[in-house]
DNA sequence: AACTGTGGCATTTTGT
DNA sequence: ACAAAATGCCACAGTT
């Protein structure tokens, strides 16, 4: 029979595969998974260790295998025991380790479900033909016993997904608290029909029920009726599912959706960061996935559903204020809130559909469930992938570091990328060249891997590079005779991606195949680009700080080499960062020097033209003559502007500061000096005469730790305390908003949170001085515009306002 | 990891 | 002699 696997769970050593057959019937396939660990004895103690394990008074099977441990081959003992007897084996191994007789005990921390996948080459989100034996029913699922996996089958599976979103109207007045405030609305959307359940008021467009208990009951029924594979929410781990879970406890209601008939299960109990799982159904929290994997590519500063939907789907923002909620409660009329909820479930569903293929491809590649992928960070993705591939290389999977070891690793650091110091000024005709995927290329080109580092071959030692870590400077080399685990894998990913990209060019952009292939190449790109970071990541199993340090060291030599080549040819290089160089051309024709440079560079490194710019501006660091790094603006031929590092792209500056800086930068790049002077005169006037809305003056900062942990009375900390006083729940990650108002003393003593500000209350002087003139100071300096020119007749623009 | 920049705070320097 | 201004350092947020 053929099955599409959704997830693989276990009860002790009993594997439960949650799958669907060709008719979408729920199927649970059972299998008994042996538990085993690998013990690596030190050569001379091999027989002793083997004997001691064999003498243990437990059921066991000990076999001798040849396995690789970080590239080196060993005779190892594969010890298969019952999971219940693990402690006995562990204490023996701990003792042997202390006596120095074994290198270690490995793969004990690989979950039993993972072991099942590795041993049988069976992973979620794929179809398999299996030989099974029907055993009867388990709930409403067919129960089978797995006899044998015949083969993987390539065919599509159409995922049935629903999105959910809840409303707690008490939140219109205070933070919703599940011990007190009921759920008023639960919305569900399956891509076709909306089920907006509500109670306690009138309303159009929803399904009215008698009370909250009935609401949960109806929700349960609908989910069972739709029988989805995926339930999607936006911030649903920390809000929607958490809330539904808590309310069901308060009301003593037991859900029966989920294949085990238990509904929502709390799988990680860390306060403030709980994780909810549903057996057989993949719970996908898009907010978590977007924050972990996609945030870097998005322009949105705050990853609210509205912002993200606007950027990704181009759906406009709907203004819903707290007033809407308050009115709904006061008038007992929910129509507006119902349509708001309807829109939210729809957007959530559409966003999910937009990312579904990427989630699927990432899951397939890494061997994880959709649920696991949606919670993964880059490190988890890379590691899952390496684990999945390890068997092909006969590599034993290294242990995850213990807390102490991880802390130790965190203390170590190494020299990173090279950043050139730019000379402040306004430049014309700038070409930006960069290396395409520099770090992955270096790993491949130099065979950088934990298993190739410091090999014993004298030949390999000849090509060394010096790395500098917190332990000091040391020369380092990588094996040239045998390809390492990580470079081999990277190479394969790289080649696979090239192949897909080639294929994409032939496909119709609107075809299903294009969509799948494009998601696949993007998933591969994510893995390719995350591997360097993974090597230096403290909790990695294949951690290798010296490898990471070698990657950056090679990176620095390459970028230096390019700069030297360009300078030798008489070009002026004005800036460079990690993998890019900014060079002044005499004309656009000069771009052809790229070919000459690429002829000299070793393969597969390749310098490319990132773009050509008409003009660009670099400024000084505040209070210094040195040019500021990672801070510049470029004007391209199509009129678009690229801003890096400037206050205009930062979240912790007011809108007025950002708008003014961006406008001034544009005028500067266009060479319009008089425009700047006129614009500034006008804007200063507007600020003073309070023509602008308060929104322009709100400063936002995030709390990066718990409020109590702050040592200083910084403005955002003071503001956060004000929020707290007003009954807001202040958590880590809370975005604090404040406005600087008139008054005396420190800034922190005269801030107000927006809801305290009446009558467009803000301090014009503060904003003109600190938010408008400060950020453009460097730009004006480059252009040689003095403050007197802005306010003619006055020596100093600041004294004008005093 | 590298880098920029703000505000708070304690101390030193400077102006009157 | 005193206060204001400058300075240096730290904590912190954020971008690349």
Mean pLDDT of A764-790: 86
A115 has pLDDT over 90: yes
Helix, strand, or coil (residue A29)? strand
Tell me, yes or no, whether A658 lies in a domain.
Answer: yes
Strand C within 7 Å of which CB atoms in A 558-587?
A: 577
Q: Same domain for A305 and A198? A: yes
Q: Enumerate the nucleotides of strand B whose atoms come under 7 Å of any protein CB.
A: 1-9
Q: What CATH number has the domain bearing residue A752?
A: 1.10.132.60
Q: How confident is the model at residue A769 (pLDDT cuts 50, 70, 90)?
A: confident
A646 within some domain: no
Count CB neighbours of A1 within 10 A: 16
Say yes or no: A74 and A192 in one domain.
no
CATH number of the domain bearing residue A484: 3.90.1600.10
Query: At which of A107, A137, A157 does a domain end?
Result: A157
Nucleotide with the nearest C1' to A711 CA: C11
**CATH number where A76 lies:** 3.30.342
Domain containing A297: what range? 161-351
Which of A624, A639, A595 has the alpha carbon at shortest distance from A423?
A: A624
Based on its alpha-carbon atoms, the radius of gyration of chain A, rounded to whole angstroms, reads: 31
Same domain, A467 and A520: yes
Q: Is the dihedral of CA A109, A107, A454, A96 positive or negative?
A: positive
Same domain, A126 and A165: no
Q: Tell me, what's the pLDDT at A793? A: 40
Q: By percentage, how much of chain A surpasses pLDDT 70?
A: 97
Q: Are A95 and A53 in contact (CB under 8 A)?
A: no
CA A713 to C1' C11, whole Å: 10
pLDDT of A268 > 70? The answer is: yes
Nearest CA to the C1' of B1 belongs to which residue?
A416
CB of A422 nearer than 7 A to strand B: no
What pLDDT does A791 receive?
65
- Determine if strand C comes within 7 Å of the CB of A703: yes
Q: What is the pLDDT of residues A742-752, one digit of tens each?
A: 887 888 888 88
Arithmetic mean of pLDDT over chain A: 91
pLDDT at A585: 93
DSSP A400: P
Residues A590 and A655 in one domain: no
Task: Determine, yes or no, domain membership for A29.
Answer: yes
- Residue A179 predicted with pLDDT over 70: yes
Q: What is the pLDDT of residue A317?
A: 66
Residue nearest to nucleotide B7 (CA to C1'): A714
Report CA(A216)–C1'(C14) in Å, whole number. 42
Nucleotide nearest to A419 (CA to C1'): B2
Encode burial over A116-141: b for 16+ CB neighbours within 10 A, e otherwise: bbbebebbbbbbbebebeeeeebeeb
Identify nearest nucleotide to residue A619 by CA to C1′ distance: B4
**CA-based torsion, A350, A356, A358, A363: positive or negative:** positive
**Residues A144, A186 within the same domain:** no
- Helix (H), strand (E), coil (C) string for A121-184: CCCCCCEEEEEEEEEEEECCEEEEEEEEEEEEECCCCCCCEEEEEEECHHHHCCCCCCCCCCCC
Which carries the bigger pLDDT value, residue A613 or residue A743?
A: A613
pLDDT at residue A476 tops 80: yes
Q: Give the count of beta carbons closer than 10 Å to the beta carbon of residue A108.
A: 17
Question: Is residue A354 predicted with pLDDT exceeding 80?
Answer: yes
Which nucleotide is nearest to A713 if distance is taken from CA to C1'? B8
| Same domain for A143 and A22 | yes
CA of A796 to C1' of B8 (A): 27
A734 CA, C1 C1': Å apart: 48
If asked whether residues A76 and A108 sit together in one domain, one would say yes
Are A153 and A179 contained in the same domain?
no
Give the pLDDT score at A602: 82
In a domain, A417, yes or no: yes
In 3-state terms, what secondary structure has residue A600? helix
Same domain for A150 and A46: yes
Nucleotides of strand C within 7 Å of the protein's CB atoms: 11-16
Interatomic CA distance for residues A380 and A385, integer angstroms: 8
SS3 readout for A303-372: CCHHHHHHHHHCCCCCCCCHHHHHHHHHHCECHHHHHHHHHHHHHHHHHHHHHHHHHHHHHHHHCCCHHH
A97 has a pLDDT exceeding 60: yes
pLDDT at A175 over 80: no
- Percent helix / strand / coil, chain A, rounded to 5: 45, 25, 35
- Give A718-749 pLDDT, tens digit per residue: 999 999 888 888 887 888 899 998 887 888 88
- Asked whether residue A95's C-beta has any atom of DNA/RNA strand B within 7 A, the reply is no
Q: Looking at the C1' of nucleotide B5, which residue has the nearest alpha carbon? A: A622
The reported pLDDT for the residue numbered A272 is 66
Question: How many domains in chain A?
Answer: 4
CATH value at residue A300: 3.30.420.10
For residues A386 and A332, state if they share a domain.
no
Q: Are residues A528 and A405 in the same domain?
A: yes
- What per-residue confidence (pLDDT) applies to A355? 95
Last residue of a domain, one of A136, A157, A178: A157
Q: How many CA atoms lie within 13 A of A359 on its CB side?
A: 27
CA of A628, C1' of B13: distance in angstroms: 29
Q: Is the CB of A625 under 7 A from strand C?
A: no
Yes or no: say if A621 and A435 are a contact pair by the CB < 8 Å rule.
Answer: no
Average pLDDT over residues A273-300: 88
Strand partners, A612: A431
Distance, CA of A631 to C1' of C16, in Å: 9
Q: If we measure between CA atoms, which residue out of A163, A130, A545 comes closest to residue A341?
A: A163
Please state the pTM of the whole predicted model.
Answer: 0.88
CB of A240 within 8 A of CB of A170?
Answer: no
Q: How far is CA A481 from CA A236, A484, A711, in A?
A: 50, 9, 54
Q: The tokens of A381 are what?
A: 């993705």
């Amino acid at each position: 029979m053929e099955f599409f696997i959704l997830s693989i769970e276990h009860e002790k050593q009993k594997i439960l595969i949650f799958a669907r057959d060709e008719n979408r019937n729920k199927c649970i396939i059972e299998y008994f998974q042996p538990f085993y660990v690998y013990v690596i004895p030190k050569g001379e103690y091999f027989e002793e260790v083997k004997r001691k394990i064999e003498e243990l008074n437990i059921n066991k099977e000990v076999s001798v295998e040849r396995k690789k441990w970080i590239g080196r081959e060993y005779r190892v003992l594969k010890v298969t025991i019952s999971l219940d007897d693990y402690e006995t084996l562990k204490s023996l191994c701990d003792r042997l380790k202390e006596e120095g007789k074994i290198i270690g005990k490995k793969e004990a921390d690989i979950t039993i479900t993972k072991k099942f996948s590795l041993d049988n080459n069976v992973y979620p989100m794929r179809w398999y033909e299996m030989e099974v034996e029907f055993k009867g029913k388990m709930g409403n699922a067919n129960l089978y016993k797995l006899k044998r996996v015949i083969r993987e089958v390539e065919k599509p599976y159409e995922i049935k997904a629903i999105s959910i979103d809840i409303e707690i109207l008490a939140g219109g007045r205070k933070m919703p608290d599940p011990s007190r405030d009921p759920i008023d609305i639960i919305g569900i959307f399956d891509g076709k029909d909306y089920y907006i359940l509500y109670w306690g008021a009138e309303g159009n467009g929803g399904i009215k029920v008698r009370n909250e208990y009935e609401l949960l009951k109806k929700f349960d029924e609908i989910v069972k009726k739709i029988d989805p594979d995926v339930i999607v929410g936006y911030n649903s781990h920390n809000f929607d599912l958490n809330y539904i879970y808590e309310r069901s406890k308060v009301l003593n209601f037991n859900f029966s959706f989920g294949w085990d008939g238990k509904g929502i299960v709390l799988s990680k109990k860390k306060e403030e960061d709980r994780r909810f799982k549903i057996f057989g159904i993949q719970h996908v929290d898009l907010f978590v996935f977007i924050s972990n994997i996609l945030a870097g590519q998005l322009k949105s500063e705050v990853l609210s559903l509205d912002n993200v939907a606007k950027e990704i789907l181009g759906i406009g923002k709907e203004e819903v204020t707290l007033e809407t909620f308050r009115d709904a409660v006061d008038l007992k009329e929910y129509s507006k809130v119902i349509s708001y909820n309807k829109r939210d479930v729809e957007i959530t569903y559409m966003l999910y559909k937009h990312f579904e293929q990427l989630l699927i491809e990432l899951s397939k590649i890494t061997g994880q469930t959709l649920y696991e992928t949606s919670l993964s960070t880059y490190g988890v993705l890379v590691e899952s992938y390496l684990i999945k591939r390890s068997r092909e290389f006969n590599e034993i999977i290294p242990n995850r570091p213990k807390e102490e070891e991880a802390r130790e690793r965190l203390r170590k650091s190494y020299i990173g990328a090279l950043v050139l110091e730019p000379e402040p000024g306004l430049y014309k005709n700038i070409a930006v060249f960069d290396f395409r995927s520099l770090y992955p290329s270096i790993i491949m080109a130099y065979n950088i891997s934990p298993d190739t580092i410091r090999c014993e071959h004298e030949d390999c030692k000849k090509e060394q590079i010096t790395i500098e870590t917190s332990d000091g400077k040391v020369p380092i080399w990588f094996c040239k005779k045998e390809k390492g685990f990580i470079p081999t894998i990277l190479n394969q990913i790289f080649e696979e991606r090239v192949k897909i990209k080639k294929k994409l060019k032939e496909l119709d952009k609107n075809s299903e195949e294009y969509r799948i292939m494009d998601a696949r190449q993007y998933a591969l790109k994510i893995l390719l680009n995350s591997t360097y970071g993974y090597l230096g990541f403290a909790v990695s199993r294949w951690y290798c700080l010296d490898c990471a340090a070698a990657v950056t060291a090679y990176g620095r030599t390459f970028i230096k080499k390019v700069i030297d080549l360009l300078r030798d040819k008489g070009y002026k290089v004005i800036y460079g960062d990690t993998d890019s160089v900014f060079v002044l051309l005499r004309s656009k024709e000069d771009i052809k020097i790229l070919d000459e440079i690429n002829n000299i560079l070793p393969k597969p490194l390749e310098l490319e033209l990132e773009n050509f710019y008409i003009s660009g501006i670099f400024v000084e660091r505040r209070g210094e003559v040195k040019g500021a790094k990672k801070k510049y603006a470029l004007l391209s031929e199509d009129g678009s502007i690229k801003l890096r590092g400037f206050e205009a792209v930062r979240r912790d500056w007011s809108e007025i500061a950002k708008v003014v800086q961006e406008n001034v930068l544009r005028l500067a790049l266009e060479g319009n000096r008089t425009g700047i002077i006129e614009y500034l005169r006008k804007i200063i006037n507007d600020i003073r005469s309070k023509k602008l809305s308060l929104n322009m003056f709100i400063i936002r900062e995030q709390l990066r730790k718990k409020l109590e942990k702050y040592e200083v009375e910084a403005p955002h900390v003071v503001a956060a305390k004000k929020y707290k006083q007003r009954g807001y729940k202040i958590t880590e990650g809370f975005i604090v908003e404040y406005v600087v108002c008139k008054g005396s003393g420190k800034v922190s003593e005269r801030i107000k949170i927006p809801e305290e500000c009446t009558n467009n209350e803000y301090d014009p002087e503060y904003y003109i001085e600190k938010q408008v003139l400060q950020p453009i100071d460097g730009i004006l300096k480059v252009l040689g515009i003095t403050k007197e020119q802005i306010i003619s007749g006055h020596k100093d623009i600041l004294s004008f306002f005093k």
